[in-house]
Amino acid sequence: MSVELFNCPSCGMPLDINVNDEFVQCKYCNNTIRIQKRNVNPDGSTTLADKSTGMVIGTVRVPFGYQVYGILRPDVSTYTYPFGVFASAYNDKGTTISYYIGEGYTDRSKCPSLSGPYSQGLEQVSRVQYKDFMDVHQYVHSYANMYANASKATNLRFIEERPMPLYEPFNEAEAMQNYRRRLEFEKQRIGNPGMAKDTGFYLKGLCHIYEMTVNEIDIRFAVTTVLEGYKYQLPDLIGGFGNFSGFGNMLGGLFSKNKPQAPQPQQGAFNDMPPNSIIEWQSEGIFIMLCLPQEFEQAFKGAYTDFCSTFKLDNGIRERLYNMQSQILQDVSRYTQQRLDQMNRDFQTWQQIHASQQAAFDSYNQSWWNNSNAAHAARRSAGQSRMESGMFDGFSEATRGVNTYVRPDGTEVEVSVTYDRAYTNYSGDVLGSRSAFEPGGNWTEMKKK
C-alpha cells in the first residue's frame, strides 16, 4: 500500500493518505477531504507531458499536493539545446517550482581570427549564441535580475548562498570529471584535427536565495544552476581557416593583407586569456522556486529539493536533442564547404585579373622603355663631350620623366615619374605605384638610385 503524508487543510494536523483512495477523513477534526489524483509512477515519480502535444518530457518526484506540467519550446534553439524545455510544479499555497533547459554560448572576444562576416554567418547556421563569459555568481545574479524585471518587482535583495538542494551533497570533482568525458566524446563526434589546445575547464554549482516585492507582496525565491566552461586556444591562422569548436565548427578569414594585432590577456574567471582563446560555456539547467516567505523553508527542504534531485528528461527527448545536434553539424559542414568553395573561386578570379593587369602593364612598359632607351642613347652620345656620365644621367632622367630604381639583385630599372614608388617580385616584374596603393603579397619595394 502506497501512503503519502499530507497536512489537513482545516486543522493542519497530518493525514495518512492512501493514494488509491478518493476521500480521507481527518482523525483530529473529522473533516472529510477529497484527494486530488495525479499520475504517479510505480517509483513515486510523476510524468511530465507537453501541454500542447502530449509528448512525454520527463519525470520528477514532488510531494503530495503539487501539480506538474511541461512545455516544449521549439522556438528556443542553440546547438547545445536545439529546442527549449520547461517544466513546473505548483501547489495551492502559491509555491511554484520551475525548470528551464540550459543555455549554450560562445565567448570568442579574445580570438581575432574568428571574427568577421564569415563567423557571423556561421553563427546563424550553427545557432551558437555569442556572449561574454560569466562565472556562476554573475550568471545567477543575471537570472535573478531578469526575473525581477519580468515580475515588475520594486526591489530585489540577495539574502544568502546555500548548498545545492540535492539529496546528496553536490560533488564538484565528480561533476567536472563527467563534464570532461562529455567533451572528449563531443570532440570524437565532430572531429578534432588537433588544431585546438585545451587551456582550462570551469564547473561550479550555486544556489542563491533572494527576496523581491511584487505589488506590495514580499516573495522569496531560489535560483540554482551548474555552470560549465571549456577554454581552448586556436593557432594564429591567417590565410587559412580553423574548423574546431566544442559546439560547432568556426570559420576564419581566408584573405588578410595585414596580420591583426592580438589583444592583451584579460582577467576573468579563467584568469589570463592568451590570444586566440575561445570559451564554450553553458548552464546544465536552471531551477527556480518562488513562494511566500513563511512557506519558503518547508518548500526548500521538501518540494524544491525533491524537484532538483529527481527531475530527469525522457530518453525520447534526449534522442531528439541528439538528432537535431547532428543535423546542425551537417548544416555547419555544408556551410563551411560552401564558404571554402566561394573563397577558392574568388581567389582564382583575383589571380586572373592580376595576370591580365600585369600583362597590360608589361606591354605598355616595354613599348615605353624601347622608345625611351633609344632617345636616351642618342642624348648620351651627343652630350658625352660636355659633361660627366653621371651628370648626364640625371639630366636625361629629368628630361625623359623617369626615375632609376635598384632591384635587390643590384640591377637597375627606370620607372616613369608619374609613380612615386616602384616594386619588383621574384620574377623580375616591375610595378609602379602611388603612395595610396600598396600591392602586398610577394612584391618588394625598390630604392631610388
pLDDT digits (tens, 9 = 90+) for 381-427: 665 555 544 544 555 555 567 888 898 888 888 888 878 888 888 77
Residues 83-93, mean pLDDT to the nearest whole number: 88
Write out the E strands in 292-348: 312-313
- Fill in the amino acid letter for 370: N
Q: What is the DSSP letter of 446?
A: P
How far apart (Å, rounded) are the C-alpha atoms in residues 98 and 307? Answer: 9
Q: What is the pLDDT, as a whole number, of residue 192?
A: 56
How far apart (Å, rounded) are the C-alpha atoms in residues 410 and 58? Answer: 79
In angstroms, what CA-CA distances link 427 with 409, 423, 440, 444? Answer: 12, 12, 15, 11
Asked whether the beta carbons of 432 and 439 are under 8 A apart, the reply is no
Return the residue matching grid coordinates 660636355. Answer: 386
Most confident of 31-40, 208-217, 376-385, 404-413: 208-217
Res. 64: pLDDT tops 70: yes
Most confident of 34-38, 237-241, 286-290: 286-290
Share of the chain above pLDDT 70, in %: 74
Give the dihedral sign, CA 282/283/285/291: negative
Res. 243: pLDDT tops 50: no
How far apart (Å, rounded) are the C-alpha atoms in residues 117 and 80? Answer: 22
**Which spans in 384-440 are helix H?**
389-400
Q: What is the pLDDT, as a whole number, of residue 60?
A: 92
Write out the E strands in 166-196: none
Q: How confident is the model at residue 240 (pLDDT cuts 50, 70, 90)?
A: very low
Tally of CB atoms within 10 A around 161: 11
* DSSP H or E segment with residue 176: helix 172-190
| Radius of gyration of the chain, Cα coordinates, nearest whole angstrom | 36
Q: What does the chain come to in residues?
A: 449
Q: What is the pLDDT, as a whole number, of residue 145?
A: 93
274-321 pLDDT tens trace? 777 888 899 989 999 999 999 999 999 999 999 999 999 888 777 777
94-142 pLDDT tens trace? 899 999 988 888 887 777 666 666 666 667 777 777 888 889 999 999 9
Residues 325-331, mean pLDDT to the nearest whole number: 72
Q: What is the pLDDT, as a whole number, of residue 290?
A: 95
How far apart (Å, rounded) are the C-alpha atoms in residues 83 and 127? Answer: 11
Res. 203: pLDDT tops 80: yes
Question: Which residue did the predictor score with more confidence, 206 or 113?
Answer: 206
Q: What is the pLDDT, as a whole number, of residue 202?
A: 92
Per DSSP, the chain holds a count of helices (H) and strands (E) of: 7, 22
Q: Is 356 helix (H, G, I), strand (E, B) or coil?
A: helix
How far apart (Å, rounded) are the C-alpha atoms in residues 70 and 58? Answer: 9
Q: What is the pLDDT, as a whole number, of residue 115?
A: 64
Asked whether the beta carbons of 369 and 412 are under 8 A apart, the reply is no
